[in-house]
Amino acid sequence: MHFPDSLSGWLELLESRHTVQIQLGLDRVSRVRDALDLRNDAVVITVGGTNGKGSTCAMLEAILLAAGYRVGCYTSPHLLRYNERVRIDGREVDDQVLVDAFRAVEEARGETPLTYFEHGTLAAWWAFCRAPLDVAILEVGLGGRLDAVNAIEPDCAIVTGIAMDHMDWLGDTREKIGFEKAGIYRAGRPAICSDPMVPATLVEHARGIGADLKLVGEDFGFSGDRTQWTWWSKGGARRGGLAYPALRGANQLLNASAVLMALETLRQRIPVSMQAVRQGLMLVELPGRFQVLPGRPSVVLDVAHNPQAAGVLSENLSNMGFFPETWAVLGMLSDKDVEGVVRLIQDRVDHWMLVSLPGARGLSAEGLEQRLRSVGVRGNIQRFESPAEGYAAARKSAGEGDRIVAFGSFLTVADVLAAVRAARH
């Protein structure tokens, strides 16, 4: 068989081959993982949850890099380039690494079908095993128990905030979703949860399998003032005098606390100094998570696409200070709780620039407007064919002291971010 010789060729092949985007289950991916016969001595940290996964991975990566470790980080989805999903030593891997990795997985799979995400997960693992690494950080794609990432054994697992999302796949209550997230925990290994309202199902599952469960507020936590914060654990460990994470938003201390708890449980294998913790928290970056771009009018990018994330975004916007007008560039997928998102943020928005998103799940601007009207949004509503067009119109209309907020989906933020970068060049 002829294999593609470019990354774009591979991505086109995988997209065309698997029309079903989500197909939960570990049998197929485990079979191909075994066929690849990879060896890896890295400490594996798996991160799941509904909101906060990306920030948690980014902080882990930044701190461990500052401590001098060789670190691999696998995340999804990407904003602008597929390479963003696979980083080694803080840098995106180049196209050739991914081409070689996709080919290795293709040769190993035989007749076993793999989804786009499963193929990509195994390709990332192949690249990490070739590196080699001290630590591999793996972000769960969807759920946990049946996600492809869970086919790789973690030494420590973190579950971040749990909210109502992907309910068709994970269940229609936080208790059901919490059980699915807890599936990444392992017997006898650290199992950390940074959700302050942890579902009972997560606790029951973790304790039932004999995982070493650590809960925020009970086994670890934080306190602070305007200038610094302190992390503590029930075991007596403390890290004080810490600068606030460079990632903006009040919720980031929950994520940072889980990161420090994970590192504390792994201190025998990957010791980390106070200096590395401070440096990592100060330098961490993550596009699209309450990312405030320099310049005027102020531009905020946030991939918030469910009510919990929208509530956090609303709170963060309220803490930014006074802006005469706020212009929202909103694009969402049709299977998201649009009404729930809008209800939580509508009081912060003066002008709605509604945009259409591509693909089978993309919601049209017209459809989006109907759903906004259904929850009583009045105000100024305009419709556009793409996020870039909506953003351009907002830039044209907004005053210098105003604020533009692009949110609702990775697709929305990616298109706006690409437009911002194109304008700079």
Tokens of 233: 């654990």
Tell me, what's the pLDDT at 394?
97
Which ranges in the chain are annotated with CATH 3.40.1190.10? 7-283
Q: Model-level pTM? A: 0.92
3-state secondary structure labels for all residues of 166-220: CHHHHCCCHHHHHHHHHCCCCCCCEEEECCCCCCHHHHHHHHHHCCEEEEECCCE
Closest listed residue to residue 336, CA positions, set 360, 291, 378, 306:
306
CATH number of 7-283: 3.40.1190.10
State what percent of residues in the chain have pLDDT above 90. 83
Tell me, what's the pLDDT at 423?
82
Which ranges in the chain are annotated with CATH 3.90.190.20? 291-420
Exposure string over 230-247, b if 16+ CB within 10 A, otherwise e: ebbbeeeeebeebebbbb
Of the candidate ranges 149-153, 307-311, 380-384, the one whose mean pLDDT is the lowest: 307-311
How many separate helices (H) and strands (E) can be counted in the chain?
Answer: 15, 17
Asked if the model's pLDDT at residue 176 lies above 80, the reply is: yes
For range 79-101, the mean pLDDT: 97
Specify the pairing of strand 43-48 against strand 91-92.
Answer: unpaired
Asked if the model's pLDDT at residue 226 lies above 90, the reply is: no
Closest listed residue to residue 414, CA positions, set 84, 79, 75, 76:
79
302: β partners: 407
Task: Say if residues 162 and 205 touch (Cβ distance below 8 Å).
Answer: no
Tell me, what's the pLDDT at 421?
87
Asked if the model's pLDDT at residue 1 lies above 80, the reply is: no
Peptide bond into 132 cis (omega under 30): yes
Sequence length of the chain is: 425
Tell me, what's the pLDDT at 173?
85
- pLDDT bracket for residue 359 (50, 70, 90): confident
For range 398-403, the mean pLDDT: 96
Compute the mean pLDDT over every residue in the chain, rounded to the nearest whole number: 93
Task: Say if residues 215 and 198 touch (Cβ distance below 8 Å).
Answer: yes
For range 149-169, the mean pLDDT: 84
- pLDDT bracket for residue 355 (50, 70, 90): very high
Of the candidate ranges 18-22, 28-32, 331-335, the one whose mean pLDDT is the lowest: 18-22
Asked if the model's pLDDT at residue 133 lies above 90, the reply is: yes
State what percent of residues in the chain have pLDDT above 70. 96
For range 270-280, the mean pLDDT: 97
Rounded CA-CA distance 145/127 in Å is 23
Q: Which class for 395: exposed (0-12), middle (13-18), buried (19 or more C-beta within 10 A)? A: middle
Peptide bond into 245 cis (omega under 30): no
Of the candidate ranges 15-24, 217-226, 302-311, the one whose mean pLDDT is the lowest: 15-24
For range 373-377, the mean pLDDT: 93
Asked if the model's pLDDT at residue 142 lies above 60, the reply is: yes
Q: How many CA atoms lie less than 13 Å away from 358 in the CB half-sphere?
A: 6
Asked if the model's pLDDT at residue 378 lies above 90, the reply is: no
Closest listed residue to residue 246, CA positions, set 261, 254, 256, 238:
256
Closest listed residue to residue 280, CA positions, set 46, 33, 90, 10:
90
72: β partners: 88, 136
- pLDDT bracket for residue 269 (50, 70, 90): very high
For range 264-276, the mean pLDDT: 97
For range 197-210, the mean pLDDT: 96
Asked if the model's pLDDT at residue 168 lies above 80, the reply is: no
Q: Which residues contact 299 (CB under 8 A, 6 or more apart)?
A: 292, 293, 403, 404, 405, 406, 420
Specify the pairing of strand 298-302 against strand 291-293.
Answer: antiparallel
Per DSSP, the residues of 352-378 read: EEEE---STTBPPHHHHHHHHHHTT--
293: β partners: 299
Rounded CA-CA distance 256/251 in Å is 9
- pLDDT bracket for residue 172 (50, 70, 90): low
Please name the residue ranges forming H helices in 110-149.
116-130
Is the Cα torsion angle 314, 320, 321, 327 positive or negative in sign?
negative
Helix, strand, or coil (residue 30) = helix
Tell me, what's the pLDDT at 372?
96
Q: Which residues contact 67 (CB under 8 A, 6 or more apart)?
A: 270, 271, 272, 273, 276, 280
Tell me, what's the pLDDT at 215?
98
Q: Which residues contact 396 (CB under 8 A, 6 or more apart)?
A: none
Asked if the model's pLDDT at residue 325 lies above 80, the reply is: yes
Q: The tokens 């299977």 sit on which residue?
A: 335
For range 314-323, the mean pLDDT: 92
Taking only the tens place, the pLDDT of each residue in 386-395 is: 999 999 999 9
For range 200-205, the mean pLDDT: 96
Domain spanning 291-420: which CATH class is it, in words? alpha beta
Taking only the tens place, the pLDDT of each residue in 55-75 is: 999 999 999 999 999 999 999
